[in-house]
Structure 1
């Protein structure tokens, strides 16, 4: 007998799932079960089970096996969602929606051949450095389909994985020069609200990720010890919902020293923010108040800094880059000043020094050239 259970998704929606035994496939000699959710009512789940049972009775197991790649993916997705953070779930789902489902979604999964996936891998290689990850995600769906009895083998494991294109491996890092950074901060200081100036000053002087800065609360800043603690980040979940989550790695949870000038600017902004909150009747100023917030005390929208920076860039006469470029600017300036890569890696919260070396290989090459030139000058 089938079992019908109600469950709640992370967005609060109550749905129904049907699970049950359908019989043994005479061709594969394997037991076939049903496990499908997403029904708005128990009645709908029962109707689906009756239809599947009827199809098997009339046509055998073949009809039940004619599931599309997308149908199997959706079954897999329900379980995957329970194993990862919401932000990770959203990012992976976006990759499927953008590249994988348009290619394989409507195809019957049992009719997808090795040649189809080989063509997909070759095509993705031409336009995306992460093409191996996309192939791996396709493979995950086939592994799941095997466990569910829909297919007997995984064609994604039989392809010849292409090599990365050299021009795609060498990803260009966008950053501001020292002069451009000075222009940016000078314009923001003289023409923008103090909150915006403080945001970009802090971003440029800590090398933090945008989400880390927007997720800061005042108790993350120790004014006496002049230290900023990164212990959470503002990110986006399903339906573009913003929420706080812990850093992904231990290295991302870190302490960053602050200069006297940074401390002074933060103190000034805290005073201005407190006055603005009181004027609006929002008396919520405590350690949990967000450092950068809207008139309701909620975190700034993740999309706003890009708009701020584009406006500033236009008026300041500097390149139109993303806020993440300030993180790269911070790193390249430190490397240019001879700061060792281990220290830079720790400040950035990278998982390893090798990640820092790979990211800023071009800057490192310039440093090696400068070192050789210094040696040549010393010997001349």
Structure 2
């Protein structure tokens, strides 16, 4: 090999089998301050000496400004793997984690996955966002996730700037929020229809309506969570299905704080009746009833957790039969909160009852939980309100 550049003698020429002459180099560019290791870079396939010289200049400039040449070869997908690992242990519930993985697998990675980070530019980010806007009504959250990975790349020193920061993202369609709750007359129709369902479904929907609990919180209750002497339910866990849970679908409540709330006498009596019926059903199925601390209140046919869709199916039946407005199971929680407010219940007590532990003031920082008197007063307000509409 012979030297072909006075400025960079490391540039050598070589020939392909077809006789074409190309240029390559192996050059030392400095010590990486993060690793303390010397960095040597090899590049090839340059058609001219000038191209090779410019490549060396670019490498030296980027290295002096903190960009590791090895990092320039990193793909978006490689940094995504780092990002998603951190995201999974950030405290996000697994149902949300699964949804986020879906955004990446269906939208983000097909576009950016194999691209080199250093080559992702503003135009590509705009092209990505425009493509999403043509497929989805609401897409800004997906763009934000894609941008978060680029921010991680900056943190790890792979790139200097996030091209999404300068990209012009199309506007979303205005978000139209649909009222996901029932008025008191419609909830009355639902409550009166419940006895037409099988008793387990009746009991489950009744508990959701009169407690304001989240669906996942109800599905993990065992009989030791019910205090039949004091008419109370203790809520300390929640069910959140995800294929990424590895079967561990039970975790803390959404706000990670347990709570205990009073229940109305009718709901307590329905729970008591279901407890008796459940024991009989388990016996008929050839299953052993577990001790209260292990026996789920709402079990499936193998005495395990019900499918997350179970309450939805029966609520849909009730809505169709009563011809009331369509809402989700979570809408029963919204209905409970709305009815409590309409009944004039103490707002702090309402927040405590449904597990909204947001500390918005010094008072709420000191008094994290409502007193038993406040809790009972909140429930009584609701029962008095329902009594006016002949709801029992």
TM-score relative to the length of structure 1:
0.68
Residue of structure 2 in register with 1:173 after alignment: 179
Q: Would the alpha carbon gap of residues 159 and 236 (structure 1) be closer, same or farther in structure 2, given more than 3 Å must change?
A: same
Aligned-pair distance for 1:233?
Answer: 0.3
| 1:281 aligned onto 2:289 | no
Checking the alignment, whether the CA contact within 8 Å between 1:187 and 1:312 is kept in structure 2 is yes
Residue of structure 1 in register with 2:77 after alignment: 70
Aligned-pair distance for 1:352?
Answer: 2.4
Residue of structure 2 in register with 1:226 after alignment: 231
Deviations along 1:201-248, one digit per CA (max 9) or x if unpaired, are: 000001111111111111111111111111000111225746210123
- What is the rounded CA distance, in whole Å, between the counterparts of 1:25 and 1:209 in structure 2? 62
Name stretches of at least 5 consecutive residues in structure 1 with no aligned partner. 1-23, 34-55, 355-380
| 1:335 aligned onto 2:341 | yes
- What is the rounded CA distance, in whole Å, between the counterparts of 1:31 and 1:207 in structure 2? 56
SS at match of 2:202: helix
Q: Which has the larger radius of gyration?
A: 2
Q: Would the alpha carbon gap of residues 183 and 353 (structure 1) be closer, same or farther in structure 2, given more than 3 Å must change?
A: farther
SS at match of 2:311: helix
Checking the alignment, whether the CA contact within 8 Å between 2:137 and 2:172 is kept in structure 1 is no
- What is the rounded CA distance, in whole Å, between the counterparts of 1:229 and 1:156 in structure 2? 46
Aligned-pair distance for 1:58?
Answer: 6.2
Q: Tell me the C-alpha RMSD between the 2 structures.
A: 3.6
1:81 pairs, out of 75, 81, 88, with: 88
1:254 pairs, out of 229, 241, 259, with: 259
Residue of structure 1 in register with 2:220 after alignment: 215
Residue of structure 1 in register with 2:379 after alignment: none
Residue of structure 1 in register with 2:112 after alignment: 104
| 1:93 aligned onto 2:96 | no
Aligned-pair distance for 1:120?
Answer: 5.7
- What is the rounded CA distance, in whole Å, between the counterparts of 2:349 and 2:296 in structure 1? 28
The count of corresponding residues between Structure 1 and Structure 2 is: 305
| 1:137 aligned onto 2:145 | yes
Residue of structure 1 in register with 2:202 after alignment: 197
TM-score relative to the length of structure 2:
0.66
Name stretches of at least 5 consecutive residues in structure 2 with no aligned partner. 1-25, 36-40, 45-58, 60-67, 361-392
- What is the rounded CA distance, in whole Å, between the counterparts of 1:138 and 1:212 in structure 2? 32
